[in-house]
Amino acid sequence: MTDHAFPDPAKLLADALFDLPEHPGAMAGGPARDTLTYHRVHRLHEQIAAPGPLLHQPAYLRELLELSAMVDPGVFHVLFLHHCMTLGAALDFGASDADLAELAAGRTIGAALMTEVGQGNSSADIRTEAVWDPAAGEFVLHTPDPAASKYPPNVGLPGIARLAVVSARIVVAGTGHGTGLFLVPLRDAAGPGRGVVITPRPPTGLLPLDYASVRFDRVRVPGSRWLRDGATISAAGEYHDPLDPPARTRRSQGMSRFAWGAVSTGLAAVARAGAAVALAHACRRRTAGRLDTELPVLAYRNQQRALFGALAAALAATVSARRATDLCWQLPTPQASDRGLPAASMRTAALIKVTADRLAEQAISRCRRACGAFGFFAENRLIDYQGLALAFNAAGGDNELILLDAAWAMATGADYEPPEIVAQFGSPLARTGWVGLFRTRERLLYDGLVEQLRTGAEQGLDPFAARNECTDSALRLAAAHAARITIEALDRDLRSVTGPYLDDAATDDLCLLWVLDEVAAHDGWFLTEGLLTADEVRTLPGRIDGACARLAAHVPALLDMLDIPPGIIRGALAGDDPTRDLTTGPTT
């Protein structure tokens, strides 16, 4: 596969097919928009003509996902579900060569059917059943009632061949064996498969796609399309699995790691794209104020805080996301006996997804507000970018639940060693003090949560009540842990992003802005714990302004550093003359 000449994703995505649609109906959600999205995806697959799964080419896949998110978040969403969630699970859990080849060719589009309407965002208690039929050597896939319908996969558009990874309870000889994964053809050009009931949902405004609910009415699934992952059923009908049912369910849920790597990548990319749009617009935009009518908007302190802060958040998300793909897209060797990632790595991957989502949402929101009324309109993509970030507050794992799960695991010492308190880290707001400050915060919050849980147990609280009382402390610990991971990554890797464009001082200022934003959001806690003095807290706004003023001298380099190829960002705000696109086009 390495001998294949992969085309440059930037050139593919700069094609006129990816221009903003002239017909207003193709901008909003609905069949016209969905048809365009899949036409774009099929064109990409035809031009790439990959001889195998793109997960075997992670650098290329990452660039494709980054740039597609900038151009069209809907296309990104379809691509990551196909190449990461579907092909990732197929590779990791042992699909047949024929199914891998069909998916890699890209004519059939992959999907992931995990959550059910009656369980909300949870995939922990799946009720769809896959019952083994020993006479036929097949599973019978069935939805027991409407509440067990799969919801909301984007599989509603007719005429598109779809092959989905479906989660279902494995039942053999009347006994449940946990949640397993199956490859199920949902539809082809002629319509849904036998027993597959697809009900399109009404269009949605943010991240519009062909969402649907799916029910299975005794659908026959060949044994070869069971992603068995080491489990077997003998000719006598005996089920054997190296994992017990709870572990099998956790292992199946672990396919989310392929999404976390992709989603973190896409979110970081749209944060950078949003920063590029807003920062360039601010440089061109002139004020009409009473004090000076010729100043660029970026001369104003509030604009500097918004846009340089957004840029710092986007770079923090980027550094974290690039770690996530290395971690999440690992594939087992054929001889591997221990498939999947260790629990600590899964926790880190999930927290990186949370971090990237929160940083992207923060960055894009700042950029959109800084652009004024222009930032509201979909043609400038900022609303689409923000829609992607909002969707992944819950999609791919609810952010708050991921934080809580991480905190409970850390509090019980499961695959976690809390950092030591750093007794002497110099000035906490200076370059040399950042990592020590964040490590110390995490340790103090860890000690506090452990003590709260111990006290609850001594008072006779049951485990649920004890944890429920500690929810706020748990969220603070997990968020602090995620922030510590982020600052360590920035300290280690940020220069690999900024190095060709910025000197060390400007790079440190970008990192400082992210640190100061994080500290300012929790300044009361830092003050109460004695990690910052009152004078240091009072200086936070001035330190932020100072870093912004210094970065203002580097705007051309900052824009270059975002490394966005020409033609990728479209819309009125992306051009040198924003009035051109706002005053031309179809008329009525």
pLDDT score of 122 more than 90: no
How many beta carbons lie within 10 A of that of residue 489, not counting itself?
18
CB within 8 Å of 421: residues ≥ 6 apart: 439, 440, 443, 444
CA 341-346-351 angle, to 5 degrees, is 155
Closest CA to 184 of 176, 193, 175: 193
Element holding 254 (H helix, E strand): none
pLDDT band of residue 105 (cuts 50, 70, 90) is: very high
Q: Please give the pLDDT value at position 162.
A: 98
Q: Please give the pLDDT value at position 333.
A: 56
3-state secondary structure of 38: helix
CA 388-358-165 angle, to 5 degrees, is 50
CB within 8 Å of 356: residues ≥ 6 apart: 263, 264, 267, 268, 317, 320, 321, 324
pLDDT score of 11 more than 50: yes
pLDDT score of 120 more than 90: no
Q: Interhelix angle for 504-521 vs 471-498, to 10°?
A: 170
pLDDT tens for each residue of 323-378: 999 999 998 755 444 567 888 999 999 999 999 999 999 999 999 999 988 888 88
Distances (CA, A) of 290 to 93, 295, 298: 66, 11, 16
How many beta carbons lie within 10 A of that of residue 342, not counting itself?
10
pLDDT score of 446 more than 60: yes
CA 317 to chain centre: 10
CA 77/CA 58 separation, integer angstroms: 17
CA 78/CA 68 separation, integer angstroms: 10
Q: Are 131 and 180 in contact (CB under 8 A)?
A: no
pLDDT top residue among 574 and 106: 106
| DSSP assignments along 395-446, one per residue | TTS-HHHHHHHHHHHHHTTTT--PPPP-S--SSTTSGGGHHHHHHHHHHHHH
Q: Are 59 and 193 in contact (CB under 8 A)?
A: no
How many beta carbons lie within 10 A of that of residue 198, not counting itself?
21
Residues 300-307 have a mean pLDDT of 95
Residue 344 CB-density burial (10 A; 0-12 exposed, 13-18 middle, 19+ buried): middle
The mean-pLDDT minimum among 82-96, 292-306, 388-402, 460-474 falls in 292-306
Distances (CA, A) of 337 to 80, 92, 254: 27, 12, 16
pLDDT score of 535 more than 80: yes
Distances (CA, A) of 437 to 309, 491, 495, 500, 550: 20, 13, 21, 29, 24
The mean-pLDDT minimum among 181-185, 407-411, 414-418 falls in 414-418
Phi, psi of 416 (to 5 degrees): -150, 130
How many beta carbons lie within 10 A of that of residue 549, not counting itself?
13
Phi, psi of 107 (to 5 degrees): -75, -35
CA 62 to chain centre: 12
The mean-pLDDT minimum among 97-101, 180-184, 223-227, 297-301 falls in 297-301
Mean per-residue pLDDT over the chain, rounded: 91
Indicate the pairing of strand 162-172 with strand 109-113.
parallel
Q: Are 557 and 506 in contact (CB under 8 A)?
A: yes
pLDDT tens for each residue of 132-165: 999 999 999 999 999 999 999 999 999 999 999 9
Q: Please give the pLDDT value at position 22.
A: 57
Q: What is the dihedral of CA 142, 147, 152, 156, to 10 degrees?
A: 60
Q: Please give the pLDDT value at position 234.
A: 94
Q: Please give the pLDDT value at position 288.
A: 72
Q: Are 367 and 382 in contact (CB under 8 A)?
A: yes
Return the sign of the alpha-carbon dihedral for residues 381, 386, 389, 393.
Answer: negative
pLDDT band of residue 27 (cuts 50, 70, 90) is: low
| DSSP assignments along 509-554, one per residue | HHHHHHHHHHHHHTHHHHHHTTSS-HHHHHTHHHHHHHHHHHHGGG
Residues 446-473 have a mean pLDDT of 95
Question: DSSP label at 81?
Answer: I
pLDDT score of 458 more than 60: yes
Which amino acid, 84? C
Residues 400-428 have a mean pLDDT of 89
Residue 270 tokens read as 């749209």
Q: Please give the pLDDT value at position 112.
A: 97
Residue 477 tokens read as 């610990």
pLDDT band of residue 166 (cuts 50, 70, 90) is: very high
pLDDT band of residue 444 (cuts 50, 70, 90) is: very high
pLDDT tens for each residue of 540-584: 999 999 999 999 999 999 999 998 999 899 877 776 454 454 445
pLDDT score of 63 more than 80: yes
Residues 413-420 have a mean pLDDT of 89
Q: Are 408 and 431 in contact (CB under 8 A)?
A: no
Tell which phi-psi region holds residue 346, choosing left (phi > 0), alpha (psi between -120 and 50) or beta: alpha
Q: Please give the pLDDT value at position 336.
A: 42
